[in-house]
Amino acid sequence: MAVTLDTPVGALAGVGEQRAKKLAKLGLTRAADLLEHYPRDYEDRRQEYHIRQAPLGPRVCVRAMAAEHPRRARIRAGLELVQVKVVDQTGALHLTFFNQGYVERAIRAGEEYVFFGAVEEQGRRRSMVNPIFERAGRQEDTGRVMPVYPLTAGITNHLMASLTRQVLPCAAGLPETLPQSVRQAHALAARTYAVENIHFPADEAALALARRRLIFEELFYLSVGLGVLKGRRAEADRACPFPPRPRADFDALLPFAPTGAQSRVMDQIAADLASGRPMNRLVQGDVGSGKTAVAAYACWLCAGAGYQSALMAPTEVLAEQHYRSLSALLSPAGVRVGLLTGSLPAAEKKRMRQALAAGEIDLAVGTHALISQGVAFRRLALIVADEQHRFGVAQRSALAGKSGTGGMPPPHVLVMSATPIPRTLALIIYGDLDVSVIDELPPGRTPVATYVVGEDKRRRVYNFVRRQVEQGRQVYLICPAVEEASAEWGGPPAMDLKAVTTYAKQLQTEVFPDLRVDLLHGRMKPREKEAAMAAFAAGRTQVLVATTVVEVGVDVPNASLVVIENADRFGLSQLHQLRGRVGRGRHQSYCVLLTASRSPEALARLRTLASTTDGFRIAEEDLKARGPGDFFGSRQHGLPQMKLADLSGDLALLQEAQGAAQALLAEDPDLSRPEDRPVLDQVRRMFSDTPDIFN
């Protein structure tokens, strides 16, 4: 069968119905998808060792001859071994294969093979467990640089590499999407060459060329898409203008005087909203900097102009918290605030929807329920999204589509993010937003005391937890994993990480049997998560064992201690966000970074966090320390998902791609020229969650 770009993966050799379903979980349904499923790493399998010279530990290639016929033994139900001794002129290597019965027929005495695996040694006896092997001279998986792919349960790297090999000839049929002028100006490889060499590079130079081309391409399409969005926003000649109102009237509603930074950002927002052109502004502020008050100011201006606003939060608990605080703040000024979440009783939801459609609610606070079917606003003129990385262009667009009847223009958009990003990087990434920074904390906030503590002090940490609870406080215990890690996932050994499910049980039964311990992690059902957070917020839970799902969480002023297990496993910015869960009340709060690591680099990073509470300085340090790491996590802050590009590590290439995108859009702002049609198609594909934007 001739394989084409549209060939279903189920039709490829080695894929049955079950494997096709598992591959679909990775988004792989056609041959073309496999070509774009790029490796996450590479193994250099070019060097071959003699048995005695092979280093212990890392996986290496050993060329040796089978000295005997393999022996197969059934140990018990579900477990059988195949063992065979192989030799070369330097010695013998004992191989063991678990549950791989085919090896008994595949290896023949007297034949030479290349084995790839980790060499272990006990005394003088050297061994390998479950190595990959191939007949010498007929090699596909050894003797080369080998790709390591993102996988899912039931799909091995060997299978993924085999499937990619089957479809690789199709790369010749891939259309060239980058304009020839861009390729020449930036010395970029052809697309076919790049795809072939990103999977099976001939050498380091070929891999570097392939990566440069494909990363540039992603960043170029991202920059073009954001440029088109920004251009359309500039062309939008009207939005509902909000007439200026005396700031003193709003300040009188606040229980505190706004900081200078808050005042500056409020003035920027007021200018945007009075201009008659759509506002699209990101407000970055560290934990506790007072972003909610700034958002409340925008909603107050909106209500004063006779329009509706909507604030969308990532969780029901957070939405309810915003609803309570905004009602208390704005109701005295006559602003009618309503709440809409998925768990409201049906009758209440219906009443709320009717009130929104009739214009009887000035400010709607809610979750994704605000963009669900059946929700319509009468005069929606302002959207506030809490946490940019939870709400991408798609959700903002869906909410904007509900602006109301009677030819309402697009609503203003205000996005609040508590994730500090180095300013230069923010200005590049948020191409469709203007950026404001609240870089000042309100007076009177006590900094969280932060300590780096070794594993040997665990008992003292538990005693400190108990003392905080005895004083009436509450405690977060943060773990990096949900359940015991497994070697199959390529993760660290199971005992290295405090797994949240097992750990919570252990704490409740062995350490704190007299305290109320609860559990919260991302794999729980939404209602279970909401219930766990609500119980903690209400004070019913004393110790909450959680994963980073609480990073963007509810405000619990009574929580005074956060203990972060395996703290060296987190990035500094994430640790700073987790630390921000405490220090929200009048009690002195503490953050304990527990680590078993003795790495000087890891300990230095953690001490950086302990020495400062400035989120922007921490973000800069994190960027320096981690380089091309996952500074932004997997969600890329609501932007389209990148397959290869790293928005922090590939900064120079990002700037280069932006320049190329700006030059193209200056010549062809709508990408209407026939030769730019492939670029438009790729941009539409990248922003496919917002098809209405690029029609």
Instruction: List, for residues 352-408, the tens digit of each pLDDT value.
Output: 999 999 999 999 999 888 877 788 899 999 999 876 545 555 565 666 666 655 567
Q: What pLDDT, on the 0 to 100 scale, is given for residue 397?
A: 63
CATH architecture of 47-143: Beta Barrel (2.40)
Instruction: Give the pLDDT mean for 443-453.
Output: 83
CATH class of 247-438: alpha beta
Q: What pLDDT, on the 0 to 100 scale, is given for residue 688?
A: 72
Structural domain spans, the chain: 1-42+149-174, 47-143, 247-438, 449-612
- Between 418 and 540, name the one with better pLDDT: 540
Of the pLDDT bands very low, low, confident and very high (cuts 50, 70, 90), residue 149 is: confident
**Tokens 């918290």 — which residue?**
321
Q: What pLDDT, on the 0 to 100 scale, is given for residue 633?
A: 39
In the chain, % of residues over pLDDT 70: 85
Q: pLDDT digits over 75-100, tens only?
A: 888 889 999 999 999 999 999 999 88
The pair of structure tokens assigned to 289 is 């900097």
Q: What pLDDT, on the 0 to 100 scale, is given for residue 491?
A: 32
- Reply yes or no on whether the pLDDT at 629 is more than 50: no
Q: What is the CATH number of domain 449-612?
A: 3.40.50.300
Measured CA angle at 415 (ends 412, 418), to 5 deg: 165
Of the pLDDT bands very low, low, confident and very high (cuts 50, 70, 90), residue 524 is: confident
Of the pLDDT bands very low, low, confident and very high (cuts 50, 70, 90), residue 637 is: very low
CB atoms within 10 A of CB 150: 14
Sequence-ordered list of residues with C-beta below 8 angstroms from that of 151, at least 6 positions apart, any chain? 26, 157, 160
pTM over cut 0.75: no
Q: What pLDDT, on the 0 to 100 scale, is given for residue 480?
A: 80
Of the pLDDT bands very low, low, confident and very high (cuts 50, 70, 90), residue 457 is: very high
Closest CA to 400 of 232, 552, 227, 221: 232
Sequence-ordered list of residues with C-beta below 8 angstroms from that of 90, at least 6 positions apart, any chain? 50, 51, 52, 53
In CATH terms, are 247-438 and 449-612 the same topology? yes
Task: Specify the DSSP class assigned to residue 447.
Answer: P
**Exposed/middle/buried for 634, CB within 10 Å: 0-12, 13-18, 19+?**
exposed
Whether the Cβ atoms of residue 621 and residue 607 lie closer than 8 Å to each other = no
Pick the CATH number of 1-42+149-174 from 1.10.150, 1.10.10, 2.40.128, 1.25.40: 1.10.150
Q: pLDDT digits over 193-237, tens only?
A: 999 999 999 888 999 999 999 999 988 998 888 788 777 666 656
User: 3-state DSSP call for residue 183?
Assistant: helix
Instruction: Give the pLDDT mean for 464-489.
Output: 77
Of the pLDDT bands very low, low, confident and very high (cuts 50, 70, 90), residue 110 is: very high
Of the pLDDT bands very low, low, confident and very high (cuts 50, 70, 90), residue 669 is: confident
